[in-house]
Amino acid sequence: MKFSESWLRSFCNPSMTTDELAHALTMAGLEVEEVKPAAPPFTKIVVGEIVSREKHPNADRLSVCMVNVGSNSSAPLQIVCGAPNARAGIRVPCALVGAELPPGDDGKSFVIKQAKMRSVESNGMLCSARELGISESHEGLLELASDAPIGLNVREYMGLDDVVFEIKLTPNKADCLSVYGVAREVHAITGAPLAPSPSRNVQRTLNDVLPATVLAPDLCGRFAGRVIRGVNAKAATPAWMRERLERAGQRSISALVDISNYVMLELGRPSHIFDLDKVHGALEVRWAKKGETLKLLNGNTVELDDQVGVIADQNGVESLAGIMGGDSTAVDLETTRNVYVEAAFWHPAAIQGRSRRFNFSTDAGHRFERGVDWETIPQHIDYISALILEICGGEAGPIDDRTVNVPTRKAVTMRIARAQKVIGVAVSADEMSAIFTRLGLQHARDADKFTVTPPSYRFDIEIEEDLIEEIARIYGFDNIPALPPRARAAMRAQPTDRRSLHELRRAIAARDYFEVINYSFVDELWEKEVAGNANPIRLLNPIASQMAVMRSSLIPGLLANVAHNAKHRADRVRIFELGKVFMRDALANDGELGIAQVSQPLMLGGVAWGAVVAEQWGERERAVDFFDVKADVEALIPGLVCTKATHPLLHPGRSAKLSVDGQFAGWIGELHPEHLKRFDLDHAPVVFEVSASLAQLNKGAAFEAVAKTPLVRRDLALVVEQSVESDALIKQLNEAADPVIRAIDVFDVYRGANLPTDRKSVAIRVLMQDTERTLEDSEIDAAIKKLVSRAETAFGATLRT
Amino acid sequence: MNDRLEKHLRESAGFIDALLASAEQSDASALAIRRQAEVPESTQKFIAQFSTPLPPATQKLIDDFVESGTQLAQLTDSIIKTHFGSALLDFGLARDTAYLENAKAKYLGKAGAVTELLKGMAQLSPEEKKTRGAEINRAKDAIEVALKVRRESLAAQALNKQLAAESIDVTLPGRGRGVGGIHPVIKTWQRCEEIFGSIGFDVADGPEIEADWYNFTALNNPPNHPARSMQDTFYVDMNGTDGLPLLLRTHTSPMQVRYAKMHANDLSSKGTPIKVIAPGRTYRVDSDATHSPMFHQIEGLWIDENISFADLKGVYTDFLRRFFETDALQVRFRPSYFPFTEPSAEIDMKFDSGPLKGRWLEISGSGQVHPSVVKNFGLDPERFIGFAFGSGLERLTMLKHGIGDLRLFFEGDLRFLKQFA
């Protein structure tokens, strides 16, 4: 909310500087976001009257004016001027010789000097509003009122040494959505006296009443209005009002609209002024009916239903209750003569969310959603009426005031001890009482508690905590000590069977991967074509189409990161992300940490692209391959098993499903060549994605005595068909292994010369040991023989000689 | 006695080398030194054979070296002294084992000088035999000491030579894979866990696609409440079991409710306080240099019988000072509004140095947990009170490192990420 400091100080004027006042408001919860001068700095610009205007002898567009600047000069000044509206008799701002004009874009101020313009002497400058920096309007000279005191400094005359405050109000501070409301706060914070709320009496000269009925008491609690006839809609808004409106960021529109806006800004009272002659029959206040439509003041037409409140006449809906008036009964500069001034109390619950539904917001709706005082409706209608009569003339009828269902203000109890416990400071009861008094809260003390009846303009005091907050706020958060925490000490330890996610991150980072963070929402095409997910979870309101669905895989995002870095000339990229992925899941239930129908597991994904080792002097360059990355993943997850499998993202011959103890853990593989182009890559990265919770598992250590007997090694070269997988071979051998065999591993695979093309030789290392005794050669040979014969029967393997 | 000689020889092991090096300026000098050793003759007589005498300074060095050697070996006979002196020089001149073994033969071999001396004793009287024999044996022992010293020195030289040949450019980069790094925002996350963990806060995380109730209603923010517009929410195309659309959590606060519900019983029956932080991803419909549609928050919650606003001030102020590692950090709490806390406070901080010095910077929202929310935890708000706070991890990271643009965190650009490795 924006308003000028002078307006605020007209109600409550503490002896503080502007900055002190802004700070005090901020520290009371009314955050002052900006403090800006109402006008830029300038000097020696005074009210001048153009005494005469002659055409410039040497220039068509210029005129030569004689300007009376009062005591600033013994004789009228001759000033050359280019403004089209320069004419004798008007009073305008006149910059004297030596005046400094507001700084331009370069930050330098412009100094007025005595000059000759086309050989005519000019002793000053007549100014437009834009030249004074107070408006963008450049419609010639700024014409001041005809009674503006000649010679008076313009800053003083126009009150330009003012400051505009912009306050960011929290949704609970409905009572501060007006200058007077803020003044009440200033009074509460500073104790400076508060002027009474502005009010006027209205001379009633008509008996006309526009009949109105409230049909929906759950929508409207009080509805009041008054007929005023014979107004001059074209009357000019007075300068003081226009100035306050403009400084509040409200453009002046017409006197009637300005008055309504002015009172809303000053007192927080939204009102609506109907053109009485456009209203047909009596008004009724009700919920809209499905199918009704309304053309609003802003030109939009909205479709209504029974969730939206309206004011209607016999022709139909005329106004969106509490939000915006309709176009058909709007006041008009040219034709409006008679008006109906309406103000009402709309129940916040009946207004909340409605304007958001129609995708716009209004100042009135903003206030009614949060709550507007219902008690002062007649006084405020009087105030509005008085301003109309004063500015636009006319004659007023009586106020037709219908109270049907206004809130009751229940007394709220606050226990002194509870407040002290919550705040953590022993604020005294007397101090609490003084705070309530300054806040204008009626209260009574009964031994250890206060009973407070909130005023009708407060919508945020319903429970004890609301009062505790008020005490803390006005007592001052700064005055509450920052206590070092005191608590029972209890140890916490990470369970040994799970490592933390941070340990997991450190482990993968130690293998030369950098962590990235990608958005959880991605392009739908990625999901469908890259991740192979035909039915991703969609956002209803994405900010962009490439962020429209929830990802079910981390990989596409990582590939995009590779592409981004490749574009910036990186030739080797190794990155990982630890993040959730999201899938529809019919089996998922609501739970302590779960949401029905959605599975959102945490995954660890990685991509390695480019050389296996960064280019350097000591190592031959080689592109990273499946087995490099497999080693990285194995280092993370001991006991990981790869099973050949295909995935739409991956090269069908170079991809595998990962599992741990038979449980699916994720995928690894080289990117399918058909996706290279999508990500603008010239060669394929190797990617993996595994369940983070499986990767977090720590297999507990199982101690075994260290054998003192010698370890025996025998190597076997088994020639098998190319298609035999090493895991399958090892599995068979393990099954045939004697107990003395400790380990069977592949240490080489050979293809080529000396072997048929459909065969390969797999070199196998067999380690044997008995913890108790040294093995006999015969046992060793027998064990080996068993292995060879198993390989023979299972795979038709032969020993390579 | 020979220990002292050995020590003397060791200490002057480099002497002959140095001598040769200094003499290398003149071939003649070097030759002179060599010749001097090659012939086991009296030094003076020997030198006289050469037209180019050694420079007097060099000669003096040699004489002193030999003289102190003979003294230490307690030799008096001039011939024996001469033999010993030339052995010292000869050994010193040995550049390899072969030369040294040849030199050894010259003195100790079958026809060696010392052997000859011993042979020559035959004519001597028993009395003379005794003294001369003792002197010769001293010389023999001393020569053996000199030989041993030189052998060791040559072995050391040979090893040094080999090591020198094997030397590498230690300034070349190390071989193999480098080390990656953890994202700066996650480092902040980790640091927050460590700091709060140090006073016993647990860590929790939960769903990012969240139900309306947990994200809003349970936090005292029912549908249509004006406070809902404080956070622009992403909704997904699925409804929760309550029929309301599921959403992307707009803050980590739903974890307050989930965690507290899970632990409410521990608090009410065992008195174990609810003390947790919940860092994680959050989402809002917003995107520019200072807003990202996805960002990270850390939620904090401490509920017990007597946890006040003053405790909140204490804990959070301490946290900020530990996080930014300065006690000079100013922290202020100013009244604000959140549906789920009351009183509510916005927390600002101010550095006393650095580029952001002197400005109040918003860092966190906080407050005493609202009694309706405590009730939603499954706890009696009359008995249990406490505070909650929520801070942006990106914001903490940006302030810590002076990063101006939030978008850098989400581009995956290695040029950025490597700075934090």
Put simply, the answer to whether A28 touches B335 (Cβ < 8 Å) is: yes
In a domain, B218, yes or no: yes
A128 shares its domain with A176: no
Contact A619 B308 (CB under 8 A): no
Token readout for A78 is: 């001759």
Mark whether B153 and B222 lie in a shared domain: no
Question: Is A523 within a domain?
Answer: yes
- Model confidence at A476, in pLDDT bands (50, 70, 90)? very high
> Chain B, 25-84: which have a CB under 8 Å from a chain A CB?
none
Task: Note whether A304 and A359 are same-domain residues.
Answer: yes
Q: Output phi, psi for B354, to 5 deg.
A: 85, 175
State the CATH number of the domain containing residue A298.
3.50.40.10
Q: What per-residue string of b and e applies to B379-410 under the rule 16 or more CB within 10 Å gives b?
A: bebeebbbbbbbbbbbbbbbbeeebeebebbb
The shortest CB-CB distance from B310 to any of A26, A423, A558 is to A423
Contact between B333 and A511 using a beta-carbon 8 Å cutoff? no
Residue A205 in any domain: the answer is no
Q: What is the pLDDT of residues A373-405, one digit of tens each?
A: 999 999 999 999 999 999 999 999 999 999 999
Per 3-state DSSP, what percentage of chain B is helix, strand, and coil (rounded to 5)? Answer: 50, 15, 30
Minimal Cβ distance to B177: which of A172, A485, A613: A613
| Whole-angstrom distance, CA of residue A14 vs CA of residue A21 | 8
- Put simply, the chain B residues between 122 and 141 with a CB less than 8 A from any chain A CB are none
Could you tell me if residue A89 is left (phi over 0), alpha (psi between -120 and 50 degrees) or otherwise beta?
left
Nearest-CB residue to A483 (from B314, B332, B415)? B314
B222 interfacial to chain A (CB closer than 8 Å): no
Residue B361 touches partner A, C-beta closer than 8 Å: no
Note the pLDDT tens digit of each residue in A210-229: 999 999 999 999 999 999 99
CB atoms B258 and A592 under 8 Å? yes
Nearest to A171 among B178, B230, B370 (CB): B230
Predicted local confidence at residue B177, as pLDDT:
84
Contacts of A556 (CB under 8 A, 6+ apart): A522, A523, A526, A527, A530, A531
Enclosing domain of residue A167: 2-38+163-190
* Mean pLDDT across A535-563: 95
Rounded CA-CA distance B243/A324 in Å is: 31
State whether A502 and B223 contact (CB < 8 Å). no
Is residue A286 within 8 A of residue A312, CB to CB? The reply is yes
Q: Do A719 and A785 belong to one domain?
A: yes
Q: What are phi and psi of B224, to 5 degrees?
A: 75, 0
Task: Say yes or no for a CB contact (<8 Å) between B179 and A547.
Answer: no
Q: Are residues A179 and A233 in the same domain?
A: no
- Residues sharing a CB contact under 8 Å with residue B33, sequence separation 6 or more, in sequence order: B19, B20, B23, B54, B58, B62, B89, B93
Cα A19 to the chain's mean position, in Å?
A: 28
Residue A720 and residue A692 share a domain:
no
Mean model confidence pLDDT for chain A: 92
Q: For B56-119, give the DSSP string.
A: HHHHHHHHHHHHHHHHHTT---HHHHHHHHHHHHHHHH--SHHHHHHHHHHHHSTTSHHHHHHH
CATH number at residue A31: 3.30.56.10
Residue type at B199 in one-letter notation: I
Average pLDDT on A535-542 reads 95
Q: Is B105 on the interface with A (CB under 8 A)?
A: no
Interface test with B, best of A540, A574, A621, A629 (most B CBs within 10 A): A540
3-state secondary structure string across A96-154:
CCCCEECCCCCCCCEECCCEEECCEEECCEECECCCCCCCCCCCCECCECCCCCCCCEH
| % of residues, chain A, pLDDT over 70 | 100
Interface of A with B in 409-428 (CB under 8 A): 421-425
A706-710 long-range contacts (CB < 8 A, ≥24 apart) are A707/A769, A707/A770, A707/A771, A708/A771, A709/A769, A709/A770, A709/A771, A709/A772, A709/A773, A709/A774, A709/A775, A710/A769, A710/A774
Chain A residues touching residue B345 (CB < 8 angstroms): 477
In a domain, A363, yes or no: yes
Same domain, B95 and B225: no
pLDDT value of position A377: 96
Q: Does residue A200 belong to any structural domain of this protein? A: no
- Give the CATH number for residue A744: 3.30.70.380
CA distance A322 to A346: 6
Q: What is the Cα Rg of chain A in Å?
A: 41
Q: Does residue B298 share a domain with residue B188? A: yes
My answer on whether A366 and A419 are in the same domain is no
Could you say which residues from 579 to 598 on chain A have a Cβ atom under 8 Å away from some Cβ of chain B? 579-580, 582, 584, 590, 592-598
**CB count in 10 Å sphere of residue A553:** 24
Q: Which of A383, A379, A385, A415 is nearest to A397 (CA)?
A: A385
Q: What is the mean pLDDT of residues A82-90?
A: 89
Average pLDDT over residues A728-733: 93
CB B332 within 8 A of CB A478: yes
Distance, in Å, from the CA atom of A667 to the CA atom of A526, rounded to the nearest integer, reads: 17
Q: Is residue B391 assigned to a domain? A: yes
Are A83 and A22 within one domain? Answer: no
Residues B74 and B123 in one domain: yes
- Cα–Cα distance between A509 and B370 in angstroms, integer? 42
A672-706 pLDDT, tens digit each: 998 998 888 999 999 999 999 999 998 877 888 88
At A420, phi and psi to the nearest 5? -65, -35
- Note the pLDDT of residue A299: 86
Closest A-chain CA to B205 = A593
Residue A661 Cα, gap to closest chain B Cα (Å): 26
The arithmetic mean of pLDDT across residues A129-136, rounded, is 82
Query: How many beta-carbon pairs below 8 A join chains A and B?
Result: 270
Q: What is the CATH classification number for the domain harbouring A125?
A: 2.40.50.140
Give the DSSP per-residue string, A484-497: PP----------TT
Of the candidates A352, A521, A618, the beta carbon closest to that of B226 is on A352
CB of B207 within 8 Å of a chain A CB? The answer is yes
What is d(CA A466, CA A339) in angstroms, rounded to the nearest whole number? 41
> Is the same domain home to B94 and B201?
no
Verify whether the Cβ–Cβ distance B368 to A465 is below 8 Å. yes
Give the count of domains, chain B. 2
The verdict on B227 and B140 lying in the same domain is no
For chain B, say whether A369 makes contact (Cβ under 8 Å). yes
Nearest chain A residue to B335 by CA: give it.
A29
E strands within A305-441? Answer: 309-313, 316-320, 324-325, 339-346, 395-403, 412-415
| CB atoms B185 and A517 under 8 Å | yes
B258 alpha carbon, distance to own chain's centre: 43
Q: B177 lies in a domain?
A: no
Residues 140-169 of A with CB under 8 A from B: none
Q: Is the peptide bond before A601 cis (omega within 30 degrees of 0)?
A: no
Q: Decide if B248 is inside a domain.
A: yes
Cα radius of gyration rounded to whole Å, chain B: 45
Within a domain: residue A582?
yes
CATH code for the domain in which residue B246 is found: 3.30.930.10
How many distinct helices (H) and strands (E) make up chain A? 20, 41
Is residue A519 located within the same domain as residue A655?
yes
Q: Estimate the share of chain A in helix, then strand, then coil, as percent rounded to the nearest 5.
A: 25, 30, 45
Q: Which residue out of A515, A562, A567, A607 would a mutagenesis test of the B interface target, given it has the greatest number of B Cβ atoms within 10 Å?
A: A515
Query: Which domain-ending residue is among B117, B138, B165?
Result: B165
Q: What's the gap in Å between the CA of B410 and the closest CA on chain A?
A: 5
Q: Are residues A383 and A338 in the same domain?
A: yes
Q: Which of the four pLDDT bands, split at 50, 70 and 90, describes residue A167?
A: very high
**How close is the nearest chain A Cα to the Cα of B347, in Å?**
11
What does the pLDDT look like over A143-161, one tens digit per residue?
888 889 999 999 999 888 8
Whether A198 is covered by a domain: the verdict is no
Q: How many helices (H) and strands (E) does chain B have?
A: 16, 10
Contacts of A423 in chain B (CB under 8 A): 308-310, 343
- Please name the residue of chain B whose CA is at the shortest distance from the CA of residue A361: B229
Q: Containing domain of residue B79, as a range?
A: 2-165
pLDDT recorded at residue A413: 97
Question: What SS3 state is found at B283?
Answer: strand
Q: Are residues B154 and B249 in the same domain?
A: no
**3-class secondary-structure state, position A461:** coil
CB contact under 8 A, A617 and B368: no
Q: Is A188 in CB contact (< 8 Å) with chain B?
A: no
B294–A595 C-beta distance less than 8 A:
no
Token pair in block for residue A379: 């006084």
Same domain assignment for residues A533 and A672: yes
Do residues B117 and B242 share a domain?
Answer: no
Residue A153 sits in the same domain as residue A167? no
C-alpha A681/C-alpha A250 separation (Å) is: 55
Q: Is-contact A316 A284, C-beta < 8 A? A: no
Q: Which residues pair with B58 in a beta bridge?
A: none
Q: Do B207 and A537 touch (CB under 8 A)?
A: no
C-alpha distances in Å from residue A78, one per residue of A58, A691, B92, B405: 16, 86, 113, 55
* Closest among B292, B323, B194 to A517, alpha carbons compared: B292
Identify the CA nearest to A91 among candidates A30, A152, A37, A12: A152
Tell me: do A559 and A451 sit in the same domain. no
Single-letter residue type at A447? A
In a domain, B170, yes or no: no
Put simply, the answer to whether B238 touches A570 (Cβ < 8 Å) is no
- Identity at A221, one-letter amino acid code: G
Put simply, whether B226 touches A (Cβ < 8 Å) is yes
Q: A513 CB near a chain B CB, below 8 Å?
A: yes
The two tokens of residue A735 are 């099954």
Per-residue model confidence as pLDDT tens digits over A768-793: 998 888 899 999 999 999 999 999 99
In B201-308, which residue ranges form alpha helices assigned H by DSSP? Answer: 212-215, 254-265
Asked whether residue B70 falls in the same domain as residue B210, the answer is no
Q: Give the distance from residue B371's alpha carbon to the nearest chain A alpha carbon, in angstroms.
A: 8
A357 Cβ under 8 Å from any chain B Cβ: no
Please identify among residues 440-469 of chain A the ones whose CB lies closer than 8 Å to any CB of chain B: 463-466, 468-469
Total number of domains in chain A: 6
Residue B42's pLDDT is 45
Give me the residues of chain B with pLDDT under 70, please.
1, 13, 16, 19-54, 226-227, 229-231
Domain boundary at A115, A139, A158, which? A158
Are B131 and B248 part of one and the same domain? no
